[in-house]
Structure 1
Amino acid sequence: MAYTGLSFGNPVFAAYAAYSSLVLLKMFVLAGYTTYTRFRVGVFANPEDVKGNKGAVARLDNPDVERVRRLHRNDLENIPAFLAVGLLYVLTGPSPGVALWHFRIFTAARCFHTVSYLAAVQPLRTLCYTAGLLATISMTLQVLMAGAL
């Protein structure tokens, strides 16, 4: 029987922790990129943020800033779901190889989604989004099956 504890002695949990950390780090970097973009184009969301930034304006309609914000929002809609269901999935005692592929697919899909979103590349962006979503749905279904009475 596979060890299913929430410890780094469990290879599935260790992989989950590593890939979760990668997507969280990616999300934090994107938050920083939003700030960088605001300073680069001189557009801020709040009037008080304009103070001390010569030539800056408070607007919510700059296309560069809004693209990064939409991307960040997309991460905020998808990554927490992966984190929650991934942890429950670890508790089902999945095959380490299968679990690793779920985590890899989600992480790679989110990274490529970020690049394709920033570069405005379709249909790659949709394909990446869908791949990540399918990995999460697959884990969700396995959690449901394991938890069914």
Structure 2
Amino acid sequence: MAQAVVTEGISLNNPLFRIYAFYCAVLVLKMMFMSVFTGMKRFQTKTFANPEDTILHKVKVTHTDAVERVRRAHLNDVENIPIFLITSLVYILTNPSYFLATTLIRAYTLARITHTAVYAVVVVPQPARALAWLAGFAITGYMAVQNLLYFLS
């Protein structure tokens, strides 16, 4: 039984795997954009982290809140998204409800985008950022527990 589930779970024809792959790509592109966004903010504010980066602009190495917010939002992605990508891939192997799994994957992606938006783009006061982070954390935790229960049996 487990072999059949694994074979179905990773099949490129599995509609749930296709949803997973699409939203993985969205999350990876989001993380890549954050690197570019950090650089854009550094040039916009003439705020550079290393002395060699200041040669063309003749400024000192400094830190600004605008750059730090983008950088910290990116770091938060680096800490959370890879864990979700692994956990959600294993979750697909448990043969979950298509509707539930799709909803969780989409909600996680929306939560991560919202987290970045309220942290680094429009800067909405708390608890907006905490709620966006908590939504993603709870989804990953739910999937991890479901994985444990499925593979424990």
Is TM (by shorter chain) over 0.5? yes
Q: Which has the higher helix share?
A: 2
Among 49, 54, 58, the alignment partner of 1:55 is 58
Moved more, 84-93 or 2-11: 2-11
Gaps of 5+ in 2: none
User: For each residue in 1:38-65, what CA deviation from the matched residue of structure 2 results, as whole angstroms up to 9, or x when unmatched?
Assistant: 111111111111122x233223x32111
Letter in structure 1 aligned against 2:148? L
Gaps of 5+ in 1: none
User: Offset of 1:4 from its aligned partner?
Assistant: 2.7
Letter in structure 2 aligned against 1:140? A
Q: Distance in 2 between matches of 1:57 and 1:41?
A: 12
User: Offset of 1:86 from its aligned partner?
Assistant: 0.9
Q: Distance in 2 between matches of 1:5 and 1:86?
A: 11
Q: In the alignment, is residue 141 of structure 1 matched against residue 134 of structure 2?
A: no
- Tell me the percent identity: 41
Segments of 4+ moved more than 4 angstroms: none
Report the RMSD for the aligned CA atoms in angstroms. 1.6
Match of residue 98 from structure 2: 96
Q: In the alignment, is residue 8 of structure 1 matched against residue 4 of structure 2?
A: no
Superposition pairs of residues 20-35 of structure 1, within 5 angstroms: 20-35=24-39
Match of residue 111 from structure 1: 113
Letter in structure 1 aligned against 2:36? G
User: For each residue in 1:105-132, what CA deviation from the matched residue of structure 2 results, as whole angstroms up to 9, or x when unmatched?
Assistant: 1001111111111222122111111111
Q: What TM-score do the two structures reach when normalised by structure 1?
A: 0.91
